Amino acid sequence: MNKNKAPLLFLITGITALLIAITFGVIATIQYIKFDFIKSVLPFNRIRPMHVTGALSWILLTAIGGIYYYLNKEGYIKKHIAAPLHFIIFFLTGLAIYTCYSLGILGGKEYLEFPPVLIIPILIGWAIFATTLISAFRKGFTKKPVYYWMWTTGAIFMIYHLSEAYLWLTPYFKEKFLANTVLQWKAGGSFVGSWNMLVYGTATYLMAKISPESGVGTDKKSFFFYFLGLTNLMFGWAHHVYIVPIAPWIRYFAYLISMTEWILLFNIIYTWKKSLAFNKTIENKTVIRFLSLTDKWVLINLFVALLISIPFINYYTHGTHVTVAHSMGTTIGINTTILLASVSYIIQNEISAFNFKPVLKGVSLLNISLILFLITLLIAGASRSAWMYSLNSEVFASMQYKLQGVYIALLIFGSMLATSILIITIPLLNSLIKAFRRK
Amino acid sequence: MSKKFTILLLLILFFGVYNYWIYTQSQPTTKPALSKAAFEGQQLWIKNNCNACHQFYGLGGYLGPDLTNVYSNKGEDFIKAMLNSGINTMPKFEFNEIEKNNIVAYLKEIDNTGFYPDKKATFQKNGWVIINYKNE
């Protein structure tokens, strides 16, 4: 098998997962408006995991595929068995997960709702990936650019936090509701931190390759922000449980750590953009367009993230769609734009004459629809918060009926967002399939 | 040993200690473990992915209401009536009486852990929120 076939398969499956995610995202929104829409076939308790698993798979598979590709490009992988084996394990596990969801065979915690036994092949896949990274960087690890540190620690912490998420199966946690809640949100928060290491590492790699003179990835500042990001990964999860009556020191510590993670990426991109040479800008127009987009969305999300990490504001936004706005803003605005830059960079390498114009047509629509979508989510969140803390005793269903107009707007802007993603990803998917067939 | 590697090791060391504290001290010692019935109720909650629509302490999906204090706010009969109703977006469940009792037991014991939304929380000038702890 050609050494880049498996990385391309990861990318193809990653984009397919994104298309699955947006399909189930739109269906889920319809159920907010028409309550019994396909409820007998696919109720919301199955649709939501299908949507979330699709989105997570898009981020993880595309990040992993890109990293395998870059490791091959840099000549770090000698035996090319790991990536194909890893892909087969993840692909078959993904099929098993969606089969379980379709049949209503559930049994896991939030975001990992599949039967717990399926975490075993997932952990094996991550172990293969982490082993590949460790063996590639073992020699002279301390002198390697920061993105190798980010990828390796991201993969190792992914194994740790995925395992940690399953400690609820032990009697100690299973029987303690509050300890179990803390455990789930600790593991989940750090799980996101771990994939951010993989994705931000990819962004740093691209910036370093496009503009090597910038010093991105090797200077002291890059490492300072890497350690800051790692500190957030380890200790910066507890803003999720500010409101849960757990031991107070956990909540104080969370406030102290706060959310500095967004500053990390913004600073690196800001420094890098200043050093871009003109000829490089022409060569890597699409990659730079996506990374510049990341830059803007980091700013917006930085603002929202910092606000909702203040306990007083968190008190009112927690448990509402404001949290969804934050998570979708980061997964689409930041993670997705970085991964699209990575896919574009790889396609540029594989098909030198590839025409990116059709792809770029979708970018403006993506921006506009994402802004409108997030504003609508913020309105929905503010309305729910007002209902939660109001003194009248209006029932939940009545509040939901009143918000129908907001949910219709969510469906419209969500559909626009889905369309923009289709415009961007279909040409990329076709070119990846073409590149795969050529190998 | 390089400086970078030393920082990494120190962080990991502190992370280990921190994890030990979190695992052993996160739940106030005054809160009892779930009863057998509540434990069975929790299994049904997980098996049916109720978290997709409902929340405890605002954590979960937002299609349905938060159920942290549903037991004290609405009572046992209301919960039992809702379970198999299939009303609005609720899937049409077919829980038997024992299962209904187990789910009620689970919701009752969660209700005992605290308040959400905690409308009587107080605020400090530095942005900190003092929440109320139940039965303490």
- Tell me the Cα Rg of chain A: 21
- Tell me the Cα Rg of chain B: 20
The residue of chain B nearest to residue A168, with distances taken between CA atoms, is: B23
Q: To the nearest whole angstrom, how far is the Cα of A394 from the nearest Cα of chain B?
A: 12
pLDDT score at A261: 59
Q: Is the minimum CB–CB distance between A326 and chain B shorter than 8 Å?
A: no
Q: To the nearest whole angstrom, how far is the Cα of A303 from the nearest Cα of chain B?
A: 16
Q: What is the mean pLDDT of residues A63-71?
A: 97
Residue A435 half-sphere exposure, CB side, CA atoms within 13 Å?
27
Neighbours of A211 (CB within 10 A): 20
The residue of chain A nearest to residue B92, with distances taken between CA atoms, is: A40
Q: Is the minimum CB–CB distance between B31 and chain A shorter than 8 Å?
A: yes
pLDDT band at A277 (very low <50, low <70, confident <90, very high): low
Neighbours of A420 (CB within 10 A): 22
- Predicted confidence (pLDDT) at residue B115 exceeds the cutoff of 80: yes
Indicate the residue of A39, A175, A315 with minimum beta-carbon distance to B91.
A39
Q: How far is residue A16 CA from its own chain's centroid?
A: 15
Test A396 with B110 for CB contact under 8 angstroms.
Answer: no
Q: Is the minimum CB–CB distance between B4 and chain A shorter than 8 Å?
A: yes
pLDDT band at A148 (very low <50, low <70, confident <90, very high): very high
The answer to whether A245 and B113 are in contact (CB under 8 A) is yes
- Count Cβ neighbours within 10 Å for each residue of A93-123 and write b for 16 or more, e otherwise: bbebbbebbeeeebbbbbbbbbeeebbebbb
Q: To the nearest whole angstrom, how far is the Cα of B10 from the nearest Cα of chain A?
A: 11
- Predicted confidence (pLDDT) at residue A218 exceeds the cutoff of 90: no
Per DSSP, B129 falls in state E
pLDDT score at A279: 45
Q: To the nearest whole angstrom, how far is the Cα of A85 from the nearest Cα of chain B?
A: 30
Q: Is the minimum CB–CB distance between B45 and chain A shorter than 8 Å?
A: no
Question: Which of A207-211, A409-413, B55-59 has the least mean pLDDT?
Answer: A207-211
Q: Could you read off the pLDDT of A169-213 as tens digits, one per residue?
A: 998 998 899 999 999 999 998 999 999 999 999 999 999 998 887
Q: What is the mean pLDDT of residues A48-60?
A: 97
Domain ranges within chain B, ordered by starting residue: 1-30, 31-130
Q: Is the minimum CB–CB distance between B120 and chain A shorter than 8 Å?
A: no
Residue A239 half-sphere exposure, CB side, CA atoms within 13 Å?
25
For residue B47, the chain A residues in CB contact (below 8 A) are 106-107
- Predicted confidence (pLDDT) at residue B83 exceeds the cutoff of 90: yes
User: CA A432, CA A351: separation in Å to the nearest integer?
Assistant: 9
The answer to whether A330 and A301 are in contact (CB under 8 A) is yes
Contacts (Cβ under 8 Å, ≥6 apart) of A401: none
Average pLDDT value over all residues in chain A? 90
Q: Which of B89, B94, B110, B119 would best serve as a mutation to test chain A binding (most A beta carbons within 10 A)? A: B89
pLDDT score at A347: 95
- Predicted confidence (pLDDT) at residue A379 exceeds the cutoff of 90: yes
pLDDT score at A274: 65
The answer to whether A34 and A28 are in contact (CB under 8 A) is no
Q: To the nearest whole angstrom, how far is the Cα of A419 from the nearest Cα of chain B?
A: 24
Indicate the residue of A31, A49, A234 with minimum beta-carbon distance to B11.
A234
The residue of chain A nearest to residue B36, with distances taken between CA atoms, is: A175
* CA distances in angstroms from A307 to A48, A190, A323, A381, B127, listed in the order given: 27, 20, 11, 14, 11
Contacts (Cβ under 8 Å, ≥6 apart) of A428: A15, A340, A343, A344, A347, A359
Q: What is the mean pLDDT of residues A63-87?
A: 92
* End-to-end Cα separation, chain B, in angstroms: 50
Q: To the nearest whole angstrom, how far is the Cα of A354 from the nearest Cα of chain B?
A: 41
Q: What is the mean pLDDT of residues A337-363?
A: 91
* Tokens representing residue A178 in the block: 């509050």
Range of A260-269, A270-279, A339-348, B29-38 with top mean pLDDT: A339-348
B66 bridge partner residues: B55
Q: Name the pTM for this structure.
A: 0.94
Q: Is the minimum CB–CB distance between A244 and chain B shorter than 8 Å?
A: yes
- Predicted confidence (pLDDT) at residue A276 exceeds the cutoff of 70: no
Test B47 with A107 for CB contact under 8 angstroms.
Answer: yes
* CA distances in angstroms from B82 to A384, B64, B103, listed in the order given: 22, 12, 12
What sign has the CA pseudo-torsion A264, A328, A106, A19? negative
Q: Is the minimum CB–CB distance between B56 and chain A shorter than 8 Å?
A: yes
Q: Is the minimum CB–CB distance between A31 and chain B shorter than 8 Å?
A: yes
Q: Could you read off the pLDDT of A100-116 as tens digits, one per residue?
A: 999 999 998 889 999 99
User: CA B84, CA B68: separation in Å to the nearest integer?
Assistant: 20
pLDDT score at A262: 61
Task: Name the strand (E) or helix (H) holding B7.
Answer: helix B3-25
The answer to whether A19 and A425 are in contact (CB under 8 A) is yes
Nearest to A52 by CA among A25, A32, A33, A31: A25
* CA distances in angstroms from A367 to A68, A259, A285, A360, A364, listed in the order given: 30, 24, 17, 12, 5
The residue of chain A nearest to residue B135, with distances taken between CA atoms, is: A245
ipTM: 0.92
Q: To the nearest whole angstrom, how far is the Cα of A215 from the nearest Cα of chain B?
A: 17
Contacts across the A-B interface (CB distance below 8 Å): 169
SS3 B61: coil
Q: Is the minimum CB–CB distance between B9 and chain A shorter than 8 Å?
A: no
CATH topology of domain B31-130: Cytochrome Bc1 Complex; Chain D, domain 2 (1.10.760)
Q: Is the minimum CB–CB distance between A250 and chain B shorter than 8 Å?
A: yes
pLDDT score at B108: 97
Q: To the nearest whole angstrom, how far is the Cα of B47 from the nearest Cα of chain A?
A: 4
pLDDT score at A278: 44
Q: Is the minimum CB–CB distance between B46 and chain A shorter than 8 Å?
A: yes
Torsion of CA A47, A53, A55, A61, to 10 degrees: -150
Contacts (Cβ under 8 Å, ≥6 apart) of B85: none
The residue of chain B nearest to residue A141, with distances taken between CA atoms, is: B5
Q: What pairing do the DSSP bridges indicate for beta strands B129-130 and B55-56?
A: unpaired
